[in-house]
Amino acid sequence: MRSKLSSFGFFLVILFVLFQSGSPARISGSQSEAYVTLLYGDEFLLGVRVLGKSIRDTGSTKDMVVLVSDGVSDYAKKLLKADGWIVKLISLLANPNQVRPTRFWGVYTKLKIFNMTNYKKVVYLDADTIVVKSIEDLFKCSKFCANLKHSERLNSGVMVVEPSETLFKDMMSKVATTPSYTGGDQGFLNSYYSGFASAHVFEPNLSSSVRNSRPLPEMERLSTLYNADVGLYMLANKWMVDEEELRVIHYTLGPLKPWDWWTAWLLKPVDVWQNVRERLEESLPGTGGGRNPNEDLLLKLLFLLPLFVLLFCCYRSFLQILKDFFEALCRGSLCDHVKRIYYKFRAGGGLAYSTVGVSSSSIINTNQSKVPAYLGGVSICVCFIAALVSLALALAVVPRQVMPWTGLLLMYEWTFTLFCLIFGGYLHLTYQWGKMTTQAGSLSSHPESFNYDSGKGHQRQVSTCDAATWYYGLGMAFLAVAAPSLPCLFGITALFLRLGLMVVGGLVLASFMTYASEHLAIRSFFRGLEDQGTPRIRSTRCFC
Ligand SMILES: *[C@@H]1O[C@H](CO)[C@@H](O)[C@H](O)[C@H]1NC(C)=O
Ligand SMILES: *[C@@H]1O[C@H](CO)[C@@H](O)[C@H](O)[C@H]1NC(C)=O
């Protein structure tokens, strides 16, 4: 009986302790302190979602407030609420500076965090930051804390602020007269807190008794751990601070924002961001993993469309090759086929050193005069212009905030398809051109001199040409894949080395393209010449 009673008492004590330790901390936490960020438009929405997820991942239960301005859509607000953000509407504070970058129109709005007087203290984080380790100790920091960057200047990407109406009013009264070196809020804060560079460094590990015995500092400096700039990483290709202790990563590099798919292929630290993004919950239907439900259908279309175009354009030539191949197989002359390919490559290899891109020496003697001298040069120009145009179009077509792999895949698909269409169209033009060029002796009387294909007839010759085009096309595709993936193969993470290797790969690709484009154009010109005598009409196709 005694033991039963005592164990019951023990149970009560446990309950009491749990209640004591649990609830007051939560209540005071959710009411007086908060994480804050700002959202001006839907472009940074994904950034805010990932930031929120990263804060919750560190185990924080504090309020997360996002101040949104007019430019933000209702859907974005709904999504952020579903993610657990408290959404507060604010009006933009106009920028008083006449000389400033246009994108800085509303950045003074950031000062409104000093007016969030229903919180005792707020930790402000830019939407392009991510928390990798708990930063709850920042709430112990004094009235104003930030991090020094670029010599003596404070960076307003991560700040600890004690909101106060008098402070905010004072700021507002000085906004118009205080100079700002950036033309934005950061410059203003640097002028307003002019003595900041000499502030002491915030020491989170100081015991509260030591802290309370010192005079309360007006402002404190945060160590780099709380605002680690990706630019810093790029300089040395590693974090110049203890990576284990890193708290906040700030993706500052201008156009290289972590939500753009290509950034993941350039900057190593974006992996951390993408990892959090992949784990985003589906708080509204179709938003898991940071996907955009409005884009889902578009992505599928974007993926399938070029595939269909490619298939439609090439199925004829491909079927022809297959037919040819199987015919050869059935007649047991596969060996012949391989031999022909071998000859073609040997001929091609020899040609790389000659200026005339024709595959047969006999043809040079008889028909060289008919090839316009500028055909090769024009073809090379067309080839490079086609490549650039298709790259630019593909970049414009692929949505920016898709996953890195999706972006890369779509990019290749679109570039390749567009290039095939443009350059294939050009080749068809050269074919027509060749067909219209007058010639004395008909070439079609001895087509076998063209393709090392004696005795196999006309049909064979057409199909092997298509095969050659396929080899070139596949070669280009292979090089186009290999060039950018070189750095990954070698495990190189430094931005400049990565870019350097990509340039080398690009040069190899460019020289191959130079050779292939000239060769293909002259080939199709000759085929035009040669088809003059025959009544057969070729169907339009994209490769030949
Ligand atoms: C500052 O906060 C007060 C009270 O919360 C509010 O009435 C006032 O409009 C705010 N000022 C600005 C400029 O937002
Ligand atoms: C602060 O304390 C934590 C453990 O409580 C430790 O991991 C960390 O290294 C300390 N930081 C500094 C700057 O001493």
Q: Quick one: pLDDT at residue 317? A: 67
Contact 415, 397 (CB under 8 A): no
What is the Cα–Cα distance from 51 to 127, expressed in whole angstroms?
7
DSSP H helical segments within 66-194, as ranges?
74-82, 165-174, 185-192
Atom of ligand 1 nearest to the CA of 118: 5
| CB neighbour burial string for 500-513, b if at least 16 within 10 angstroms, e if fewer | ebbeebeeebbebb
What is the Cα–Cα distance from 317 to 306, expressed in whole angstroms?
17
DSSP 98: S
Atom of ligand 1 nearest to the CA of 117: 5
Which of 38, 111, 113, 115, when mutated, tests ligand 1's pocket best, judged by the most ligand atoms within 8 Å of its CB? 115
Backbone phi, then psi, for 289, in 5-degree steps? 65, 20
pLDDT in tens, 347-368: 554 443 333 334 444 444 455 5
Atom of ligand 1 nearest to the CA of 112: 14
Burial class (CB in 10 A: 0-12, 13-18, 19+), 304: exposed
Q: Is the CB of 20 under 6 A from ligand 1?
A: no
pTM, entire model: 0.77
Residue among 153, 147, 100 at smallest CA distance from 123: 147
Q: Quick one: pLDDT at residue 205? A: 83
Q: Is the CB of 178 under 6 A from ligand 1?
A: no
Query: From the CA of 242, how far away is ligand 2's center (Å)?
Result: 12
Query: From the CA of 122, how far away is ligand 2's center (Å)?
Result: 22
What DSSP line would sit under 436-479, residue for residue? HS--SS-GGGSTHHHHT-TTSHHHHHHHHHHHHHHHHHHHHHHH
Q: Determine how β-strand 63-68 pairs with β-strand 129-131.
A: unpaired
Backbone phi, then psi, for 96, in 5-degree steps? -75, -15
What is the Cα–Cα distance from 180 to 36, expressed in whole angstroms?
23
Give 3-state DSSP helix, strand, coil % of the chain, rounded to 5. Answer: 60, 10, 30
Backbone phi, then psi, for 43, in 5-degree steps? -60, -35
Query: From the CA of 211, how far away is ligand 2's center (Å)?
Result: 16
Q: Could you say which ligand is closest to the alpha carbon of residue 137?
A: 2
Burial class (CB in 10 A: 0-12, 13-18, 19+), 470: middle
Residues in contact with 313: Cβ distance below 8 Å, sequence separation at least 6, in sequence order: 420, 421, 424, 541, 542, 543
CATH 3.90.550.10 range(s) for the chain read 28-224
Query: From the CA of 85, how far away is ligand 1's center (Å)?
Result: 21
State the maximum Cα–Cα separation within the chain, in Å, rounded to a whole number. Answer: 122
Per-residue pLDDT of the chain (544 residues; tens, 9 = 90+): 445 545 545 444 444 444 444 333 333 445 789 999 999 889 899 999 999 999 999 999 999 999 998 889 999 999 999 999 999 999 887 777 666 666 666 778 889 999 999 999 999 999 999 999 999 999 988 899 999 886 678 899 999 999 999 999 999 888 888 888 777 788 889 889 988 888 888 988 887 778 777 777 888 999 989 999 888 788 778 887 888 889 999 998 878 899 999 898 888 899 999 999 999 999 888 888 888 888 889 999 999 998 898 888 767 666 777 777 777 676 655 566 566 666 665 555 444 333 333 444 444 445 556 778 888 889 999 999 999 999 999 999 999 999 999 999 999 999 989 998 999 899 889 988 888 876 544 444 444 334 433 333 344 344 445 677 778 888 888 888 888 778 778 877 777 788 888 888 889 999 998 989 988 888 888 888 887 765 444 443 444 3
Q: Is the CB of 91 under 6 A from ligand 1?
A: no
* 3-state DSSP assignment of residue 387: helix
Residue among 342, 378, 339 at smallest CA distance from 456: 339
Q: Which fold has domain 28-224?
A: Spore Coat Polysaccharide Biosynthesis Protein SpsA; Chain A (3.90.550)
Query: From the CA of 226, how far away is ligand 2's center (Å)?
Result: 14
DSSP 215: P
Q: Is the CB of 442 under 6 A from ligand 1?
A: no
Residue among 116, 124, 136 at smallest CA distance from 29: 136
Q: Is the CB of 534 under 6 A from ligand 1?
A: no
Nearest CA to ligand 1 atom 11: 115
Q: Is the CB of 69 under 6 A from ligand 1?
A: no
Residues in contact with 219: Cβ distance below 8 Å, sequence separation at least 6, in sequence order: 142, 143, 144, 145, 146, 193, 195, 196, 199
Contact 258, 48 (CB under 8 A): no
Query: From the CA of 418, how far away is ligand 2's center (Å)?
Result: 56
Atom of ligand 1 nearest to the CA of 172: 13
What is the Cα–Cα distance from 249 to 246, expressed in whole angstroms?
8
237 sits in the region (left: phi over 0; alpha: psi -120 to 50; else beta) called: left
Query: From the CA of 115, how far away is ligand 1's center (Å)?
Result: 6
CA separation, residue 316 to residues 321, 408, 465, 508 (Å): 9, 28, 13, 30
